[in-house]
Amino acid sequence: MIENKKMRIAIFEDNQKFRESLEFTIVTTADMELCGSFEDTNRLEQKIAALLPDVVLMDINIPGKNGIEAAKEIKAKFPAVHVCMQTVFDDDDKIFASLCNGASGYILKNTEPAKLLQAIREVAAGGSFFTPSVAKKVLNFFSLQPMHSEYIQLTEKEKEVLKHLVDGLSYKMIADKINLSFHTIHSHIKNIYDKLHVNSKGEAVAKAIRNKLV
């Protein structure tokens, strides 16, 4: 009888104490193997290519590329690798940005080890897992949206700005990235909010996902 293959898990977490706690949880679990553990996302593509993990546990606020941008790069270049985001806060903006960029799970760092392992197994199997408070936010948001399709016409520059919002960038980061002033970016975002009929970044990101605007 052939032994079942262990799930290969890679950890990206800059908090040493929490990272060591995750490492202990993985190495003491019979059906999992810790294949890598890192404090930043530098040389991300090379690390993933060398390890080929089944699941990546990704901190959202990590040095190097932030976790949301890292998830996007992983899914673009290694579609078979599943990404589970970990964070301290169930922040609407980050939840929807993570989903848009290919994350299969979104769990809070205070999640008990048994639930963390459940999340890893479900994500590795091709499913999704969300901390209950996060799942509730996602379900509530989409259940409140009208089912009819909307015609939303954004300029190319507005689409570019919206895409960067979805990627989790701040107004200042967007301004630096596309070489425009902070004031101009603020003006673009005001126009985007008006056209999408939303009042917050979280709503804008979620509507962009739902309507496939980016």
Q: Where in the chain is the domain with CATH 3.40.50.2300?
A: 7-134
- The per-residue pLDDT for 142 is 57
Nearest Cα neighbor of 212 from 140, 154, 129 is 154
pLDDT for position 207: 77
At 1 the pLDDT is 32
pLDDT in tens, 114-139: 999 999 998 888 877 887 777 776 66
3-class SS letters over 77-97: HCCCCEEEEEECCCCHHHHHH
User: Residue 6 has which token pair?
Assistant: 């262990």
Q: Which residues contact 94 (CB under 8 A, 6 or more apart)?
A: 60, 68, 85, 87, 168
Beta bridge partners of 130: 106
Which residues of the chain are under the pLDDT cut of 50?
A: 1-3, 147
* Cα within 13 Å of Cα(99), Cβ side: 24
Residue 2 confidence (pLDDT):
36
Residue ranges, CATH 1.10.10.10, the chain: 156-210
Strands (DSSP E) found in 15-90: 32-38, 55-59, 82-87
Concatenating the DSSP letter of every residue in 158-177 gives HHHHHHHHHTT--HHHHHHH
Report the pLDDT value the prediction gives residue 141, as an integer from 0 to 100: 60
Topology at the third CATH level for domain 7-134: Rossmann fold (3.40.50)
Q: Are 85 and 107 in contact (CB under 8 A)?
A: yes
Per-residue confidence (pLDDT) for residue 144, from 0 to 100: 54
CATH class assigned to 156-210: mainly alpha
Residue 8: per-residue pLDDT: 97
